Structure 1
Amino acid sequence: MEERRKKGVRLLRSWLTAQQRAQFDRDGYFEVVGCDTGTRYRIRRGTSANIREVDASGRLGMGWCFVPAGELVEGDVMLVQKIALETSELETLNIAKNFYGW
């Protein structure tokens, strides 16, 4: 299981920009911009309930929870979340559950 986890994080990091990688390494999260609305989202380490909207002042807002089917490791889930928000934001949010707070 540990090797799967490491491979998942390596794959995720290979898809991150230099800025996202630095954020992820430093803070345990990275931010993406939704393709449809331009909303900024923070994806933190985790496999569920790990996405929050971020406003222009850096304050956290609405949380979102969506995960792919199957027994995926953390890095794989986070990569799916990144790609979904960057390429199919509104479709993704239509199936996601929203929440406030961590």
Structure 2
Amino acid sequence: MFWLGRQASECEWRARAVVGLFRSARNANTPEVRGLRLLRSWLSPAQLAQFDAKGHFDVVGGESGKKYRIKFGICANVLELSEDGTPKVGWCVVPDCCLVAGDVMLAQKIALETFESAALAKANKFGAPAR
């Protein structure tokens, strides 16, 4: 009986430690966390809700009006969507410098919304992944 009580208190201690770890990571001031904070501050309410629910958000190309989906990541994470919302073609739109995912995704969003054709001219095109 004593062993079970001790085991339960150890589990509670570990659970509190894990919760504390996640809280400190959420509030950390690492480049990754700062990049995601900045990205989130630039997303529209609809994009933010989509990002929180699905891990990606959609943008509309500023020149063509095409819809693009930006998935979490730093490369090969932009999908051009067809009229029915299925992936049509993929784009690898990556800045020339080394950035964390949130910063790359923000750069992709701004590039597609403001100078779409110039961004796609420098991007690598790839076949859209199967659903």
TM-score (norm 1): 0.95
Q: Quick one: higher RCO (CA 8 Å, sep 6+), 1 or 2?
A: 1
Q: Identical aligned pairs, as a percentage?
A: 50
* Backbone CA RMSD of aligned residues: 1.4
TM-score (norm 2): 0.75
Aligned-partner residue type, residue 39 of structure 1: K
Q: What is the alpha-carbon distance in structure 1 between the residues aligned to residue 85 and residue 54 of structure 2? A: 14
Give the structure 1 partner of residue 62 of structure 2: 35
Q: What is the alpha-carbon distance in structure 2 between the residues aligned to residue 91 and residue 3 of structure 1? A: 31
Whichever structure has more helix as a proportion of its residues is 2
User: Which consecutive aligned stretches of 4+ in structure 1 deviate over 2 angstroms post-superposition?
Assistant: none
Q: What is the alpha-carbon distance in structure 1 between the residues aligned to residue 83 and residue 50 of structure 2? A: 17
Deviation at 1:77, TM superposition (A): 0.2
Whichever structure has more strand as a proportion of its residues is 1
Deviation at 1:101, TM superposition (A): 2.8
Deviation at 1:69, TM superposition (A): 1.8
Give the structure 1 partner of residue 72 of structure 2: 45
Give 1 or 2 for the bigger CA radius of gyration: 2
Give the structure 1 partner of residue 53 of structure 2: 26
